[in-house]
Amino acid sequence: MVKNDMTAQNLRSAYAGESMAYQRYKVWGQKADEEGFENVALLFDAIAYAEEVHAGNHFAAHDNVEGDFLVAGGGEFGLGTTSENLVGAIEGEEGEVEQMYPTYSIVAKEQGESDAVRSFHYALEAEQIHAKLFRNAKEHVDNGEDIELEYVTICEVCGHTVVDGLPDKCPVCGEPSSAFRKFTK
C-alpha cells in the first residue's frame, strides 16, 4: 500500500510507462519477426513480460488508492525498422535507469514507502539488463545478423531477465528457479 501522494503519483507514472513499454515491445517484436530477426523478436517478447511484472508490482503497491486518474507517463513512439525500434527501446530503458527509477526510489525512501521502494528497485535492476540486451541486439541487427539466443527466463516476482540460463535463485528478489517463466522460439 501507499501512504503519500507523491509516491502514489510516481507509482502511477511508472505503471503507465511500464504498460506502454509492454505494448510497444509486442509490436516491435512482431516487426522483428517480419524482418527475419526471430531471436530479437523473442527478446522483445520476453522483455515485454518483464515489463508486465513491473507494471503489476507498481499497481499492487498502489492497491489501496482507488478510482480514475489522469496519468502522465513517458513512452517511446514510432514503428520503423528493427534497427530504429531498438534505438527507441534503448532510449526508453536508459531513461528509466538513469532518471526515472533512481529519482522515484529516493522519493519513496524519503517517504518511508517500503512497497514502492521494493517495486522501483526490482524494476531498476531489470532495466539495466534490458538496456544492455537491446544495445547488443542493435549492434547485431546493424550488421545484418540476428542475435544468438536459445531462450530467455524472466522472474515472475521481480522481472529479472536471464538470457540462456536459469539461476537456482533469483539474484534480485531471492525467489527459487520455479518462479521463472521461460520464453522459447
Binding site for a second copy (CB under 8 A): 12, 15-16, 18-20, 22-24, 26-27, 52, 55-56, 59-60, 62-80, 84, 88, 91-92, 95
In angstroms, give the least distance from the CB of 25 to a second copy.
11
* 138 binds, options Fe ion, a second copy, none, Cβ within 5 to 8 A by partner type: none
* Residues in Cβ contact with 107 at an 8 Å cutoff, skipping those fewer than 6 apart: 6, 7, 10
List Cα–Cα distances, 34 to 18, 39, 75, 81, in angstroms: 24, 12, 23, 10
How wide is the angle at C-alpha 102 spanned by C-alphas 47 and 26, nearest 5°? 20
Whose Cβ is closer to Fe ion: residue 37's or residue 180's?
180
72 binds, among a second copy, Fe ion, none (CB under 5 to 8 A by kind): a second copy
Q: Whose Cβ is closer to a second copy: residue 19's or residue 161's?
A: 19
CA–CA dist 115, 138 (Å, integer):
34
168 binds, among Fe ion, a second copy, none (CB under 5 to 8 A by kind): none
Q: Which is nearer to Fe ion, 145 or 164 (CB)?
A: 164
Least distance to a second copy from the beta carbon of 43, Å?
A: 18
Out of a second copy, Fe ion, none, which partner does residue 100 contact, by CB within 5 to 8 A per kind?
none
| Cross-sheet strand order for the sheet of 151-155 | 161-163, 151-155, 180-184
Choice between 26 and 135, CB closer to a second copy: 26
Integer Cα distance of 53 and 36 in angstroms = 28
3-state secondary structure of 115: helix
Pair 28, 85: CB distance under 8 Å: yes
